[in-house]
Amino acid sequence: MPPRRATLASSRYSRSDRQAALYVGAAVTLAYLLIQQGQVTVSDGKDMLAVSQSIVHHGTLAVAPQFGAMGRGGHYFAKYGIGLSLLAVPFVAVGDLVGVIVGDQAKLEGFFAASLTPLIMGFLAASLFRTTRRLGAGSRWAAVIAVGSAFGTYALPYGKDFFAEPLTTLAIVLSIEFLMNGRYELAGVALAVAVTTRPETVVLVAILPIIVWAFRGFREAFTYGAVAVIGAVVDAVYDQYRFGSVLKTGYGSEGFTTPFIHGAAELLFSPEKSVLLFAPIVFLVGVGAVRLWTARNRFVVVLTLTNFLVFFVLSAAWHSWQGGWSWGPRLLLPGVIPTMLLLSLLTRKECRVGIGLLAAGFVVSASTILVSTRAQQLDQPLPSVGPSVLRQYQLVPSVTRYTVNQLQKAHIPGDSRRDLSLWQVNLRQYGSKGLLGGIAGSLLLLAALVVVVRRSPIWRNHSPP
């Protein structure tokens, strides 16, 4: 008896869509390369980058004390998953090689590592485009969903720096895409990557195979789960290596200590963390889920909503439900972005509403293109929950004036939070040559972006959304 399969609206997906997905992904990558910070600024990112640098320079996973917690043998180890650190190793190696030639090795390693995240965002957009097309979205609406996920939600500042959330999100979306296509081994690999990047994702390894069993059959579920569990094994071995126990992660007494009701209320209604404010497109998720459910794409509906609920519960119960000092509900991002798949079959009127909500989401986070959210850490008193949307916009004029005033002055190493959050600004340390290089690089990226957008098959496809 053949395995049960969900009915997928894939008749509208063609070979040209694969090409279009590449163009969408390239456009998103180029746009993020144009606005990225060009350096690793957040503490989590610095810790994970230190692991990559330690592998490249010393062939070890141990880091300097300021980047980790004490573990086996008196050495220090970063307390985060190893997935992003491993992926960044070749980028750090290239930065190291270039640094040997021109100098400033550490800065160049950070620059190349930070440039990895725009690539991840491009792959994420491409996967969202492919999957929504298979679910029945028109090519232009699929492109809106893909690009809107990158720029119309609070993912915007996370694509500019070195965070684990974009890679985790990409791995989960790819896992869903492969499950839809019946490629269970690859789906398991993708989920394993998510687990090694953010270890709490291991909960999905216990839940998602059950859903696959219910919709596709036991053999498919077993294949998926058996491969995905490799991620949990990697995490366990990594913990044993670092801290001498598979149950120790470096967090000490920190854990899931926040009362769920409190954390959930903050994630929904806090003006600094509300997912409804930072990703207003979620207002349409319920409508989209009903559309797909009615179209008998129930497998995708259950997968994506289960993923969201898992991350919502984990985020709400975590001791730092705020996700530390971060923009919006950072820990919830790998749950929010995959729900964009549920918007595939909206009506034209609903699509117009969706475009408006994505535009609103862009407005909420647009200030982070120019000003680092860490700039609000200079305020006194320090905000207790995290950066606010209003204060972020208030800082744009003053940070811009400060940066312009400093451009003609000799570079004095200082607090990057006072500067515009752009890689072009960081080149001022090299004087007029650096500024000219920044202008030239920006023009090249902008020209490449225009070419990619104009040549995209999407513009030649006049199908309705």
pLDDT, residue 408, reads 66
Q: Whole-angstrom Cα distance, residue 85 to residue 78?
A: 10
Query: 225: domain range?
Result: 30-41+115-369
Residue 112 confidence (pLDDT): 94
At residue 188, the pLDDT reads: 98
DSSP for residue 60: S
- What is residue 459's predicted lDDT score, i.e. its pLDDT? 72
Query: Looking at residue 99, what is its pLDDT?
Result: 86
Closest to 372 (Cα-Cα) out of 189, 162, 180, 92 = 162
Tokens linked to 130: 């492919």
Q: Is residue 270 part of a domain?
A: yes
Any domain includes 189: yes
Instruction: Establish if 232 belongs to a structural domain.
Output: yes
State the pLDDT at residue 269.
94
Helices and strands (DSSP H and E) totals, the chain: 20, 2
21 is a domain residue = no
CA dist 269 and 413 (Å) reads 39
Q: Is residue 274 part of a domain?
A: yes
371: β partners:
420
Tokens of 53: 């640098």
Give the C-alpha separation, 385 to 272, whole Å.
Answer: 7
* Count of domains observed in the chain: 1
Q: What is the pLDDT of residue 311?
A: 97
Q: Which two tokens stand for residue 187?
A: 């789906």
Give the pLDDT means over successive 10-residue stretches in the chain (465 positions). 39 76 97 94 93 96 94 93 97 92 86 95 98 95 97 96 96 98 97 96 97 97 98 95 88 84 95 95 97 93 98 95 92 97 96 98 97 92 88 95 78 73 85 84 96 86 51
Any idea which residue has 């940066």 for tokens? 403
Kindly state whether residue 50 falls inside one of the protein's structural domains: no
* pLDDT for residue 52: 97
pLDDT value, residue 436: 87
What is residue 181's predicted lDDT score, i.e. its pLDDT? 94
- Give CA–CA dist 234/220, Å, rounded: 22
What pLDDT score does 412 carry? 55
- Which DSSP category does 420 fall into? B
The answer as to whether 196 is a domain residue is yes
Burial tier of 240 (Cβ tally within 10 Å: 0-12, 13-18, 19+): middle
- Let me know if residue 137 belongs to a domain: yes
